[in-house]
Homo-oligomer: A and B are copies of this chain.
Amino acid sequence: MATITEISPLAPPNGFPQLPVIKGVRFAVAQAGVKYANRTDVMLAVLDPGSTVSGVFTKSATRSANVLDCQNKISAHTDEGAAIIVNSGNSNAFTGRAGDVSVKALCEAVAQQTGLPEARVFTSSTGVIGERLPHDKIISKVGELTQALDERHLEAAAQAIMTTDTFSKGASTTIETPEGVINISGIAKGSGMIAPDMATMLVYLFSDAKISQELLQEMVSKASDETFNCITVDSDTSTSDTLIMGTTGQSDSSEITKGSANAAAFYQGLRDVMLELAHLVVRDGEGAQKFVEVNVTGATTDQDARKVASAIANSPLVKTAIAGEDPNWGRVVMAVGKSGAAADRDLLSIWFGTVLVAEKGWVAESYKEEDAAAHMKGQELTIRVDLGLGDGKSTMWTCDLTHGYISINADYRS
């Protein structure tokens, strides 16, 4: 694996945020030496009895043994508590029967040490595909992990799950309700193999909200589609993408019920935290130098708008132009054309930032290249396309495609 020493220039300037403690969930980390030396590579989270767990997973046909196991367990309605164990350095994907054996062994060990049933132990693995997971190394640390559990160790957990990430990622929000506040804290990892249908991303969210598993699952699925499924780094989709959310119900606030004002506020807060984490993943995109929002409006349908946004956000030619700070809007036109969405050359308008670049099938009369070039020099860019056909809209977030991406990925395993 290439050693990544430099922190992404798009990382938050103030580092990892202060995350509120979520009552009822505790964390611990350890150095198991799965692949990396001299760093933590395992995290354990344990949720108190009374908690619920929801999740969203990759749709890849070659998804990992861990993902398959989590999917089988996620919708159980039980309040026995739960545990999540995550390792970095090895994805346990495409390891055949041995992969299933590793997951089973991890779950057994965690169940034994925590007193939880195996059906309430969730696992994730991230890293290289196709190498046997040395699960014994992890299992030998489970006792130590269980002893070290502490509500305040979420930041350490965010560090332990990193692979090619150049910074650890966290976000939180606090929702005020008449009876008391509800907290949501989340962490994520991911920086390559990032594309809709989830990414090479692991995301763990925790809240003290009182909410049923069914309603939370519904919210998590919807918010995931509006956040994590709207980012792309390189159009590649991982075999291990996992988002798990646990809620402990230990806030003073009353239960969140479907259609209530609390439900709306909670959903908004949840979506905000997920969007912030999704943006952090893009900001750590392999080799990224620029953070790019792609805004598409005026499509025939939202689905068409998403096709166009995705074609722009995934186009190597658009992304290399951004890397070169070149307002090459012709490549945006190309991407619109290839997207498969309904489009009319003469109704299309394109903006870089607030600079109208093209309209009525051609470069805008008011356009001066130096204006767009000035926008392209920034670190935070917006490309906006209006198709002029209807009300369909979509927003996606991506980064540029640079020499850094090639350097990292042409040498990942060496």
Contact = CB atoms under 8 A, between A and B. Distances in A.
A267 interface: no
A16 to B, nearest CB: 28
B406 A61 contact: no
A93 B328 CA distance: 13
The prevalent SS among residues of A at the interface is loop
Max chain B C-beta neighbours (<10 A), residue from A96, A315, A348, A410: A410
Interface string A58-78: 101111000000000000000
A363 B180 CA distance: 54
Nearest to A406: B403
Contacts of A362: 94-99, 130
B237 A337 contact: yes
- Assembly of this chain: how many copies? 2
Given A58-B337, A61-B343, A195-B338, 14 more contacts: A61-B336, A62-B343, A94-B333, A94-B361, A94-B362, A97-B362, A99-B361, A128-B330, A236-B317, A239-B333, A239-B334, A321-B409, A324-B410, A403-B406
24 contacts: A58-B337, A60-B334, A60-B337, A61-B343, A62-B343, A94-B361, A95-B362, A96-B345, A96-B362, A97-B361, A97-B362, A129-B334, A130-B329, A192-B317, A236-B338, A237-B334, A239-B333, A239-B337, A316-B316, A316-B405, A320-B405, A323-B406, A323-B410, A326-B410
Top 10 A-B residue pairs of the complex, sorted by shortest distance between their CB atoms: A129-B330, A96-B362, A62-B337, A324-B410, A60-B337, A320-B409, A96-B361, A237-B338, A61-B343, A130-B330
